[in-house]
Amino acid sequence: MTEEKTRLIRTVCPAHCGIDACGITAHVQGDRVVKVEPAGFPDPKHRRICLRGLSSLDITYHPDRLKYPMKRIGKRGEGKFERISWDDALDFIADKLKKIAAEHGWPAIAWALGGPGAGTTKFGAYLRLASLTRSTRVSAWGYGDAGLPCGSRIIFGTQFPFGLLFGQLWSGSPDPDMIVVWGANPGESQPLNLMRPIMDAKASGARLVVIDPRFTVTASKADQYIGVKPGTDAALALGLMNVIFENGLQDDAFILRHTVGPYLVRDDNGQYLRGRDIGRPEENEYIIWNEGTASPKPRNAADIQPALTGSFTANGIPCKPSLQLLRNLAREYSPEHTAEITGVEANLVTRLAERIGNSKSVIFVTHMGFTRTYHGDISLRGLGTVAALTGNVTATFKGGHLPAVLNWNPFLKAKPETPSYTRLGILQLYDAVIKGNPFPVKAVWFSFINFLNQCANSNKIAEEMFPQLDLIVDTELFMTPTARYADILLPVCSYLEFSDLIPHPYPYVQLQQKVIEPLYESRSDVDIAAGLAARLGFKEYFEGGQDAFIDLILDSGHDSIKGITREKLKEQAMPLTVIPPMDQELDIPFSTASGKIEMYSENLLQEGQALPVFLEPLESPIKPQSSKYPLAFIQGHSRFRTHSMFANVASLLELNPEPWLEINPRDAAFRNIADNDMVTVFNDRARTTLKTRLTEGVGPGVINITEGWWIDQFKEGSVNHLTHDVINPVQEKVYEPNMHMNDVAVEVVKAE
C-alpha cells in the first residue's frame, strides 16, 4: 500500500490576534489537513506561528462542531434544537425578517458582527446585506474598544490614534530611543507581529517601559515596570505633563507647528477666539497672540511669533493660549499628588517624564486595556497629549498606513442609490431592544461574536434583552453560550474551509486560501449571506461567491494593491505596492476642526472635558477602604485564547484548564483566603465562583480574571455577569459608547 501524497497549501490564520495573521502551510492528505506550520514569507521574520495557530486543527476537527442548521424547540437558553435543512432555515429567516420589516421598518433588523477572525469578505458580505436592506449594523468597537477611537477622534480627528494603537514598529521604522507600552500586553495578545519588533528594538538599545495594573508577560521583558491603579491613567499623564512643563522638556517647535497650543481661548466662554470676535475679515479663523507686535493675529498671518504662554486681552476680550490652559491644569498634578491618585511613586513619575522629554524619539504603544474604563477616552487623550508635547507623534506615526484592503466601501457601493445601513454601538443596541430607543430592534443576527459571553452585564442580556427579540440568528462553529439562545443556528466553516483576503501583517496582503471542502453541512458566511440575499431579492449582488468578493477588493483601483491578484497570492504574501516612506515628515492637516492636534477641544466644553482632565472611575475604587466593594476588577487577556475563541480546545485546556482569580497576598490575607481556595466574587449585579491564585503581579486593591472563559466554565456566573452597561455620554456624542470591563468594583469572600 502506497503512502498518500501530501499536498502543501498556503493559507492564513486569519487575524485571531488582531494584527498578527500568520501565514500557514497546511499539509493535506486526501481530504484531511494533517499538519499546519509557518508559511514562507518574503520577510523571514514574519515566518512564525503561536499556540493558537498550532491548535487551529483542533477547532476544524473538534467533535463538538455544529454540523447542520438547527431550529430552537425549547425555551431560549435551554439549548434544545432540532435539525432542519438549509432551505428551511433560510426560508424561515427571510420570512421572519420581511414580517418584522413590514411592521417596524428595516432598521429593526440588526447585524451584530464581531472582530477576531472577521476576514475582509465575510465581514463585507454582511455589510453589503445591511446596506442593501437599509437595516442596522451593530459596531464591534463598542466591545471594550470604542474608548480608543473616541479619544483619538477628539485629539487627532482619526479613528486610529496615529500609531498609538499598535506603535507602528513594523518594517522600515527607525529604532526609537524608548518604547512606552501603556495599557497593552502584546506579549500575550499580539506576541508575534507587535511584541517581536518591540523586542528587536529593545535589542538595538531602546529602553522598554511598561505601564499596567498587572505585571504582565510584556512587563516581565521591560527595563522598567510601572504599576498603576486601574482608571487613573489620565492622572498619570497629567503628572508627566507637570514634570515636562516644569523642566522645559516640551518641544515648542512641534507644538507651534502641529497643535492648537498657540490658539487663543476666551476666558469668558472657553471658546477659541475667532476673527469675528475681534472684527477681522477672516471671521472663522483661529487667532494667536503675536509676540512681535503684541497684538492678536490670524494663525496663518505672515511673520508672526505666536505666544504659547501668558494672558492677553484682544479687543477687550481676556484670553490665553490653549497650551497655557493645559499648563495650568498640569500644575495641579505634582508628582506627589499624582502618586496619591495612581499609586505610582512620585520619583517614578519624575524620572519617566524626564526620560520621555530627553529622548530623541519615543514610541508609545497602546491598545484597548486602559480605554476599557468609563473615562478611557480621556486616558487616550492624555497619552496622545504627552506624545504631542514631546514631539513624538511624528516618531509614533512613522510606518503608519492602514492597508487598502480594510476599506469595505466596495461592498457598500453595490447599489449606489441605496443609503447605507443605520449604525448602533453595542450598548446602544441594549436600549434599542429593551426600550425601543432610539428605534426598536426586533431581530439580531450574530456572526463571529459570542455576544452573551463577551458583552457587558450578561444577566441583562439574557433576562431583559433576548426575551424582547422576535428573532435571534447565530452563525457559529460551536454551541456557545450565545448560540443556546438562538432561534435559528447556522453552522459556519472553519478558516481552512473557505477563502478570504487578509490585510496583515503590515505591509503585506495574504490570501486565506480554502484548503479543504466544508465539513458536514457548514457554509461560509459569504455563502450564508448570499443565500439569504437571494430570498430577500438581492441575489445579483452576491453572484460569484467568495472569489468574486476577493476580486472586488483587489480590483478596487487603490494604488497600494495594484498588480496584486488572487493567483499571485496563492503562492506567497505580497507587500503593498505603495508604502509611505518611513522617514517622512509629519506635515499633514489632521481631521480635527482646526486641522491640528487638539489638546483642547471646545466641542466638549459643556461636559467639562475640553482638556484631558482626570475624572475618577465610575466604579473602580481609588480609595478601597471607602467603598462598599473595595476591589477594582479588571480582565486581562490570555495567550491561550483570543477572547472566547479557543476556550474549548482540549490541547490548550491542558495548559490552562480553568479560570482563576488573581489577587494580591495582602488582600487575600485580610479575607482569610489561601492559594487555590474557591472564592466568590460579587457585587450588586451578580456573583461568580472560581479558584484563586495569590500573586504580587496585581497590586493591593486590584483583582484580575482573564476574559474569554465561557459561562459554563465557571462554577457560577462569569466575568461579564459582574460588569455594567452604563453609557458614557461623551463617547456616545463623539463616536459610540464603550464597555468598561476594567472599571468594575467587587468584593471577594471565601466560597461557602
Which residue, 575, 570, 555, is CA-closest to 509?
A: 575
d(CA 279, CA 295): 13
pLDDT band at 143 (very low <50, low <70, confident <90, very high): confident
Which residue, 31, 32, 38, 68, is CA-closest to 53?
A: 38
pLDDT band at 278 (very low <50, low <70, confident <90, very high): very high
Q: C-alpha angle 481/485/727, rounded to 5°?
A: 75
Convert the pLDDT of each residue in 560-572 to its tens digit. 888 899 999 999 9
Which residue, 658, 638, 649, is CA-closest to 713?
A: 658
Question: Which has more pLDDT, 305 or 590?
Answer: 305
The pLDDT of residue 656 is 95
What does pTM read for this prediction?
0.94
Ordered alpha helix ranges (H), 75-185: 86-104, 120-133, 147-155
The answer, yes or no, to whether residue 646 has pLDDT greater than 60, is: yes
Q: Strand pairing of 660-663 and 702-704? A: antiparallel
Rg value, the chain, Cα: 26
The pLDDT of residue 10 is 97
The pLDDT of residue 398 is 36
Region 600-625 average pLDDT: 91
pLDDT band at 139 (very low <50, low <70, confident <90, very high): confident
Convert the pLDDT of each residue in 528-539 to its tens digit. 999 999 999 999
The pLDDT of residue 393 is 83
* Pair 600, 260: CB distance under 8 Å: yes
CA distances from 138 to 111, 150, 173, 409, 469 (A): 6, 16, 35, 17, 15
The answer, yes or no, to whether residue 171 has pLDDT greater than 70, is: no
Question: Which has more pLDDT, 472 or 365?
Answer: 472
The answer, yes or no, to whether residue 406 has pLDDT greater than 80, is: no
Q: Is 717 left (phi over 0), alpha (psi -120 to 50) or beta?
A: left
Eight-state DSSP code of residue 559 = G
d(CA 148, CA 373): 11
The answer, yes or no, to whether residue 118 has pLDDT greater than 70, is: no
pLDDT band at 396 (very low <50, low <70, confident <90, very high): very low
The pLDDT of residue 14 is 76
Residue 47: Cβ within 10 Å count = 16
The pLDDT of residue 416 is 57
The pLDDT of residue 400 is 37
pLDDT band at 147 (very low <50, low <70, confident <90, very high): confident
The answer, yes or no, to whether residue 627 has pLDDT greater than 90, is: no
The answer, yes or no, to whether residue 142 has pLDDT greater than 80, is: no
Q: How many residues does the chain have?
A: 752
* Pair 43, 141: CB distance under 8 Å: no
Ordered alpha helix ranges (H), 536-621: 545-554, 566-569
> Angle at which helices 525-535 and 545-554 pack, to 10 degrees?
100
Number of H helices, E strands in the chain: 25, 29
Please state, rounded to an integer, the average pLDDT across all residues of the chain. 91
d(CA 365, CA 378): 16
The pLDDT of residue 420 is 78
The pLDDT of residue 582 is 47
Which residue, 548, 151, 719, 42, is CA-closest to 379?
A: 151
- Placement of cell 485546556 in the chain: 653
The answer, yes or no, to whether residue 116 has pLDDT greater than 60, is: no
d(CA 364, CA 176): 10
The pLDDT of residue 17 is 66
* Pair 377, 263: CB distance under 8 Å: no
Helix (H) or strand (E) holding 511: strand 508-512
Q: In the numeric block, which cell numbers belong to residue 292?
A: 512681535
Which residue, 731, 660, 724, 666, is CA-closest to 690?
A: 660
639: helix, coil or strand?
A: coil
Convert the pLDDT of each residue in 453-495 to its tens digit. 999 999 999 999 999 999 999 999 999 999 999 999 999 999 9
d(CA 461, CA 569): 42
- Placement of cell 511613586 in the chain: 345
Residue 606: Cβ within 10 Å count = 11
Residue 592: Cβ within 10 Å count = 18
d(CA 129, CA 420): 10
The pLDDT of residue 196 is 85
Measured in Å, how far apart are the chain's first and last C-alpha atoms?
62
* Pair 482, 450: CB distance under 8 Å: yes
* Dihedral pair phi/psi, residue 429, rounded to 5°: -65, -35
Region 85-110 average pLDDT: 99
d(CA 86, CA 531): 9
Percent of the chain with pLDDT over 90: 74
* Pair 681, 690: CB distance under 8 Å: yes
Eight-state DSSP code of residue 536 = T
- The one-letter amino acid code at 299 reads R
Domains of the chain: 70-137+404-450+459-493+517-563 (3.40.50.740), 156-400+592-614 (3.40.228.10), 624-750 (2.40.40.20)
pLDDT band at 730 (very low <50, low <70, confident <90, very high): very high
The answer, yes or no, to whether residue 193 has pLDDT greater than 90, is: no
* Dihedral pair phi/psi, residue 13, rounded to 5°: -75, 110
The pLDDT of residue 244 is 99
Which residue, 319, 279, 311, 324, is CA-closest to 298?
A: 279
Q: Is 399 left (phi over 0), alpha (psi -120 to 50) or beta?
A: left
The pLDDT of residue 162 is 47
pLDDT band at 26 (very low <50, low <70, confident <90, very high): very high
* Pair 176, 460: CB distance under 8 Å: no
Convert the pLDDT of each residue in 217-256 to its tens digit. 999 999 999 999 999 999 999 999 999 999 999 999 999 9
The pLDDT of residue 625 is 60
The pLDDT of residue 370 is 83
* Dihedral pair phi/psi, residue 434, rounded to 5°: -80, -40
- The one-letter amino acid code at 144 reads G
d(CA 640, CA 273): 53
743: helix, coil or strand?
A: coil
* Dihedral pair phi/psi, residue 747, rounded to 5°: -125, 155
Region 641-665 average pLDDT: 94
Give 330-398 as a 3 state SS string.
HHCCCHHHHHHHHCCCHHHHHHHHHHHHHCCCEEEECCCHHHCCCCHHHHHHHHHHHHHHCCHHHHHHC
The pLDDT of residue 642 is 85
Convert the pLDDT of each residue in 297-309 to its tens digit. 999 999 999 999 9
The answer, yes or no, to whether residue 259 has pLDDT greater than 90, is: yes
The pLDDT of residue 1 is 43
Convert the pLDDT of each residue in 73-90 to its tens digit. 999 999 999 999 999 999
